[in-house]
Amino acid sequence: MVVQDEISFTKVKNGKAGAPGPPGEDGQSQYTHIAYANSEDGKQDFSVDNPNRDYVGMYVDFKQLDSTNPEDYAWSKIKGDQGEKGIPGKTGDDGKTPYFHVAYANSEDGETDFSTSDSQNKAYIGQYTDYTQADSTKPSDYHWTKIKGEKGEEGEDGYTPIKGTDYFDGEDGQDGRSSYLWVRYSQFEDGSGMTTDPTDAVYTGIATTEEGISPADYRDYTWQKTLGKEGVPGEPGSNGQTSYLHIKYSNDGGQTFTSNEGETPGEWIGQYVDFTKSDSSSVTDYTWSKVKGDPTGLTEQNEIPVNPYEGMLWKNTGNNAGYISGATYRFNGSEWEIFTFRAENISADTIETLTSKTGSLDITDWLTFTETNKGLRGTYNFGDPVNNSFIPRWYEGNLELGYRRLMFLSDIYEVNSDQSKGKYLYYTETYFAGDQIKLRQYTDSSTDNLKGRIDMTASMFQITNNWSQNSGVMLSASGDSMFTGQMDIGNNLQVTGDIIGWKNIMSGRIDPNPDWSTFQINENFINGIPKINLYNGSAGIQLETYGSDKADLKIGRDSTGPRVYSWGIRNRTYSYAANMFVTSNGTLGMSTSASKYKLNIAPLSKDESLELGNKLLTINPSKWWDKAEVENYTDELTSGEFYGDYNTVKSHYGLIAEDLEKAGLDPYISKNEETGEIVGIEYDRLWTVLIPVIKQQREEIEKLKMKVGGLEE
């Protein structure tokens, strides 16, 4: 079909009673009603029989009789005014091409489910014409007409295929019928010599049928003159071209044309506009829209339906091989599948199914799974009782029981005090398969970050936080074990064999007391190896060994305060100068003087050296009693107990650190590194400031000797 320039199509009929539409819901048929009038509101010269009018109106409902109320119809103008002589046309505007646009929607304003291509299940059609090829996406640009009536009232004794429910069938409704619109063209008023080519046609004929075959007799059409006398040509537009609207039909969504090269109407209509008069023979050049919907409802018949559509429901009332009598089937596009049926008992060697919904399943024999990833699957979502669980958790996930394994996949949450699901914690996977139990814990269900895992077989147990086979804690059935981290022992640990890496403990015990006050290695002398105690006694933590040579090391406290004590250090003597230094924070170290331990060595100037020495000579020595000695001695006399050191009260002689600070000798004072508080004097360096003073005195003595010698001579 070719339409030259602009033309609007409106579905009309021959004035008879409206043709029944497709079966409506609940056993009702749908009817399309058409009327004619000479005014935009349909009230002037209203008629349902005489099409010789300027306007056509249409509506759809479930009543067979046409309404006589013009307000029930949606009106469109189909006949233009005709003058005796054509008025000269205006100058063409740059040769613009008019385009006819169609859209579909489910609301009167076109806003709901708006689409320019999908016409399925739409209640309204919109149209407009302009000079832009692309369809507008604004619903307000279209003139909307309702083409689908409202849902009818519930039919009596209808059949609803709900599983597990029997129904009495109601009476058959009227067969749904489709209405087809046919347009032909002629040079003559009675339509004789009609053709499908609108070129130079003077009259247009319209006919409607209930079958998809166009009437061959021109007298079956209603004819109207659509071409007036030719007007005076206007001035030619610049580069004007004639546009053509091409229309074809298809029954498979535009995959192929219908018969007669797509001229036979079908379920889909395709269209496009260009400047070529002849229709394209390529289905891809057309934009396809569905114009005929599938029937609805349930088909009940003895025979298998011919040419079924996808989603069609058929109740088998006959005896067809391979089909259950009385069951309802649904066509899935390629074959019939059971939709619903009722049975008290089913006896079958093999049942193949995709989904089974049961209230309970009573199995009296083994349920066998023979394929990997096939079996039973379910979901769970529950929380532990808050008051009856050691660590309540909320579990949400899947359970899978299949070939060779049982698996739990869970997101783990906290449980709130009101027994509701709380904060998300982590994701776990638990497997039971053969001789293995595996537990995996991840930060989330992506399983990218492992938090921990447990692997257990009949011969091995491992718990770790990585994928290494030699990490964490490993225990074997042979008795071997491995701990790669810290091991905390809550009670006695008894060793009856070798501890790898502890060859000196051969056979013995590691025995902490219940209150952890004492930690013993070898409770008794075993094979001549002495006992080692690490305990928290009154003097603090002490490490003691017992044998022929006592060499205790005690790190703890006494009445004076923190104390480090060792008979081993006390009994070892040397003739060397002291070289151990204790920092203000109690750190032990060796005192050094070699240049290799120093940086940026520079000699003092003579004046600077003499200045330091003279400052030292300004200080007077002092004497004092040691505060700790006095306090400890007093406590010992009072309590009668000896604390360890032999405390005596005597006078000590020396310098006071604060006196050096006042004299300007800060470099020779030791202070607390954190508080800056004065602690002591660096006596091993202080004497060096006297060297330049002594040298100066020696030089002066030598000068005096020379003077005295000269006098004697």
The closest alpha carbon to 263, from 279, 275, 252, belongs to: 279
Q: Are strands 450-456 and 436-442 parallel, antiparallel or unpaired?
A: antiparallel
**What is the rounded distance in angstroms from the CA atom of residue 355 to the CA atom of residue 345?**
19
Distances (CA, A) of 604 to 328, 607, 612, 620, 708: 113, 8, 10, 25, 33
- Structure-model confidence comparison of residues 70 and 341, the more confident one: 70
Sign of CA dihedral 372, 374, 378, 379: positive
The model's pLDDT over 380-389, given as tens digits with 9 standing for 90+, comes to 787 888 877 7
**Is the model's pLDDT at 20 over the cut of 70?**
no
Q: What is the pLDDT of residue 14?
A: 42
Q: Which of 446, 95, 150 is nearest to 275 (CA)?
A: 95
- What pLDDT does 684 receive? 85
The pTM of this model reads 0.31
Please answer whether residues 214 and 185 qualify as being in contact, where contact means their C-beta atoms are separated by less than 8 angstroms: no
Closest CA to 194 of 214, 175, 173, 211: 214
pLDDT digits (tens, 9 = 90+) for 122-179: 888 888 888 788 889 999 998 888 776 665 555 444 444 433 444 444 444 445 555 6
The pLDDT of residue 165: 40
For the chain, the structural domain boundaries read 98-143, 298-340, 375-483, 493-573, 605-694
501 exposure class (CB count in 10 Å sphere: 0-12, 13-18, 19+)? exposed
* Helix/strand/coil for 651: strand
**pLDDT value at position 56?**
83
Tell whether the model's pLDDT for residue 496 goes beyond 60. Answer: no
pLDDT digits (tens, 9 = 90+) for 204-234: 888 888 777 888 899 988 888 766 555 444 4
How far is the C-alpha of 14 from the C-alpha of 9, rounded, in Å? 16
SS3 content of the chain, % helix, strand, coil (to 5): 15, 30, 55
Confidence (pLDDT) at 486 = 60
